[in-house]
Structure 1
Amino acid sequence: MYQVDAFTDVLFKGNSAAVVPLEQWLSDAQMQSIAIENNLSETAFLVREPDGAFHIRWFSPITEIDFCGHATLASAFVLLSQRMATAPLTFRAAAVGDISVAQLDDGLLEMNFPNREPERVDDPPAELSNGLGIVPQAVLKSSQAWFAVYEDEEQVRALTPDLAALKTLAPLDVVITAPGREQDFVSRYFWPANGGDEDPVTGSIYAGLAPYWSGRLGKSSLVALQASRRSGLLYCRVEGERVFVAGRAVQYLQGTIEI
């Protein structure tokens, strides 16, 4: 097992993920137990398929997750740094299909996601505003989360949600976002129903955030800050039906699981 901090090049920043390359699948119960034992946002399990792609599955300490960006970035970093494969890489996931990862000249790893632009919601549930405590300027929705849009970065940083109220919105999570002071936009991500209180950096949600901000700001390339306590930087670009999300990663540990 490898533990990697994703969307950062500094240890103890970004979002931690465990990566477990396998020759064949463990049982679902074993993989969930390992994720609980790791107690990280996600543990990714990989099995190489005959065509060279890597089938990937992601588990939080609570449940299996349909789509996880930071653990995919961490998996690509492990495969390349440990010379288990060469770029470009292809990851195969049941819910999102194939995800390709390219290695850019500046050291960034760039993931190719489907465009999941959220749709505006005119009558959002009261539990959303009650749980956030600050009424957003606009509310949008995707298959993954509610999007609450605020006026400025200060509101996003200051917000202290009622996580019990947000949990009632399951199976959807909640992302809050606003224009950034130094970056194009900032966000924070809460997922009490599916993983924990606040996720440090959530790569998958930028498949929705990047198209929204691209349209609002009128630019296809954007830099984003996830303003959690650990924080993370993401480099996004939108090209039609695809969203490219790039970041760096750094290894924290390598170990052996005994089961």
Structure 2
Amino acid sequence: MELPIYIVDAFTDQQFKGNSAAVVPLDAWLDDETMQKIAIENNLSETAFIKQESLNQYTIRWFSPLTEIDFCGHATLASSYVLFNLYESQGQIEFITEKVGSLYVNCRDDGRIEMSFPNQAPELVTEVPVPLLQGLSIQPVKVLRNRQAYFAIYDSQLDVESVTYHLEQLAQLAPYDVVVTAPSDRYDFVSRYFWPANGGDEDPVTGSIHAGLVPYWAEQLGKQEMLAYQASKRGGALYCRMVSDRVLLSGFAVIYLRGTIYI
């Protein structure tokens, strides 16, 4: 069997920046074990498998090298880039997911791809888990959580950039991951994302967690439109908007590879 595969750098307009995702369009679903093996072989933070259901409607599933993921933003952006630029899709794309409902994607006139996500605002945690406090070198000023991760809030961008982490401690928070975030002078807010429970070490740019970060910072900053930056080694910019109960994220993407899988 031969399958097409594309690797796209998401949330960046430069190769070797942002977050890389593999995209594998399918005519029929593979079994879960095979999809997981492909994700392990790719060894990227996510591999997205997409299958067309009708015009501009696709089911999407995401696999990290460790497990299937409920929700992934950058691989959704990468999949959209492939459909808009290589498969000549036009108009709004709907991605059907099992865990978070439908995700709607449009290609803007400026070339950014804009994704509409459900609002996943975090709530304050009254009892902070000990592994979280022991797993971060700088203590957060407060901690929140949504269905995906713990949110460690800091006062400054320097804290976010300087904090070190202990994966063994943070892994005990499974199934939750950890995002550290703070306001920024150059951007509206910055973040970093650690996910030993579901993906590995530090994720370069994490679109899904911004479904929680954007509503939090919109309330804190009193703004509906914001520019965010994920301060990983590769780094990536995310253009954010709150529209009613939806979180709109947009960013650029660059193709790195197109090829064929033989299985």
For normalisation by structure 1, the TM-score amounts to 0.98
Aligned partner of 2:197 in structure 1 is: 193
Report the AA paired with residue 215 of structure 1. Answer: E
The ranges of structure 1 where at least 4 consecutive aligned residues each deviate by more than 3 angstroms after the TM superposition are none
**Equivalence map 1:153-192=2 (5 Å):** 153-192=157-196
Aligned partner of 1:106 in structure 2 is: 110
1:15 paired to 2:19: yes
How big is each residue's C-alpha offset from its partner over 1:137-186, in whole Å with a ceiling of 9 and x where there is no partner? 11000000000000100010011101110000000000000011200000
Shift of 1:106: 1.1
Shift of 1:50: 3.3
DSSP 3-state at the match of 1:129: helix
The question of whether the paired residues in 1 share the 8 Å contact of 2:84 and 2:107 is answered with no
Shift of 1:238: 0.8
DSSP 3-state at the match of 2:233: coil
Please give the alpha-carbon distance, in whole angstroms, between the structure 2 residues aligned to 1:172 and 1:165: 12
Aligned residues: 259
1:213 paired to 2:217: yes
Shift of 1:97: 1.0
Report the AA paired with residue 89 of structure 1. Answer: I
The question of whether the paired residues in 2 share the 8 Å contact of 1:57 and 1:93 is answered with yes
Which of these residues, 47, 51, 54, is aligned with residue 43 of structure 1? 47
Aligned partner of 1:232 in structure 2 is: 236
Which of these residues, 138, 147, 152, is aligned with residue 148 of structure 1? 152
How big is each residue's C-alpha offset from its partner over 1:215-244, in whole Å with a ceiling of 9 and x where there is no partner? 000000000000000000000011221000
Among the aligned pairs, what percent are the same residue? 58
Please give the alpha-carbon distance, in whole angstroms, between the structure 1 residues aligned to 2:50 and 2:148: 23
How big is each residue's C-alpha offset from its partner over 1:109-144, in whole Å with a ceiling of 9 and x where there is no partner? 100000000001121111111101211011000000
Shift of 1:84: 4.3
The question of whether the paired residues in 2 share the 8 Å contact of 1:145 and 1:172 is answered with yes
DSSP 3-state at the match of 1:155: helix
The question of whether the paired residues in 2 share the 8 Å contact of 1:187 and 1:227 is answered with yes
Which of these residues, 2, 5, 24, is aligned with residue 6 of structure 2? 2
Gaps of 5+ in 1: none
The question of whether the paired residues in 2 share the 8 Å contact of 1:115 and 1:240 is answered with no
For normalisation by structure 2, the TM-score amounts to 0.97
Gaps of 5+ in 2: none
1:120 paired to 2:127: no
**Over aligned residue pairs, what C-alpha RMSD do you find?**
0.8
Shift of 1:51: 5.4
Aligned partner of 2:93 in structure 1 is: 89
Please give the alpha-carbon distance, in whole angstroms, between the structure 2 residues aligned to 1:123 and 1:240: 31
Report the AA paired with residue 29 of structure 1. Answer: E
DSSP 3-state at the match of 2:16: coil
Please give the alpha-carbon distance, in whole angstroms, between the structure 1 residues aligned to 2:87 and 2:19: 23
Please give the alpha-carbon distance, in whole angstroms, between the structure 2 residues aligned to 1:129 and 1:25: 42
Please give the alpha-carbon distance, in whole angstroms, between the structure 2 residues aligned to 1:180 and 1:248: 21
